[in-house]
Amino acid sequence: MSALEEIRRRFQNDHFAVGTTGIVIDCAEPGKAVCSLTLEQRHMNENNVPMGGAVFTLADFACAIAANGYAQRKTVSQNASITFLSPAKGKRLIAKASCLREGHTTALYAVDIEDELGTYVAHATVNGFAIG
C-alpha cells in the first residue's frame, strides 16, 4: 500500500469531511497536502455559490492532512481564520495546504483554495497545537 493510500485509509474515519462532504485527498507529503471537492447542489447556498461552511471544511481538512498525514504526533486546530475572496466559478474546489512554521508544540499552516478555472476562492490560516 502506498503512503497516500494509507493516509486515505486512515482519514476515511473523518466521516464529516470524507463521507458527508465528499472531500478527496489528492496528494500528501510531510507538511503539505492537496484536497479537492467536486461541487454538488448540496454544497451551494441560497445564492447558488459554495457555502462558506463547505469551503471552510475543505480548508480545515487539507490542513489536517498536511499536519497529520506523515507526523509522529497528532496536531489539532487551535485557531483558524478564513478570508473568502471570490465565489467559485468552476465545479471543483482545490485546497493546497502547507506548513509555514512548526515549533515544539505549535505550528502555522496556510491553505489556498481555488477552483479548477483558477479562481482564487479563499485563503485560510490555521494555528495547530501538538497533543502527542
3-130 — its CATH code?
Answer: 3.10.129.10
81 burial class (0-12, 13-18, 19+ CB within 10 angstroms)? Answer: exposed
Give the mean model confidence (pLDDT) for residues 7-20: 96
Indicate the domain borders of the chain.
Answer: 3-130
The pLDDT value recorded for residue 34 is 98
56, 62 in Cβ contact below 8 A? Answer: no
pLDDT digits (tens, 9 = 90+) for 39-85: 999 999 999 999 999 999 999 999 999 999 998 889 999 999 999 99
- pLDDT of amino acid 10: 95
Query: With bands split at pLDDT 50, 70 and 90, how would you rate the model's confidence at 91?
Result: very high
What would the 3-class secondary structure string for 71-109 be? CCCCEEEEEEEEEECCCCCCCEEEEEEEEEEECCCEEEE
What 97-104 contacts at long range (C-beta under 8 Å, 24+ apart), as own/partner pairs, is: 97/32, 97/33, 97/34, 97/35, 97/59, 97/62, 97/63, 97/65, 97/66, 98/31, 98/32, 98/66, 99/31, 99/32, 99/66, 99/67, 102/31, 104/130
In tens, the pLDDT along 16-41 reads: 999 999 999 999 999 999 999 999 99
d(CA 36, CA 27): 10
pTM, to two decimals: 0.96
Residue 1 pLDDT > 90: no
Instruction: Give me the pLDDT at residue 89, please.
Output: 95
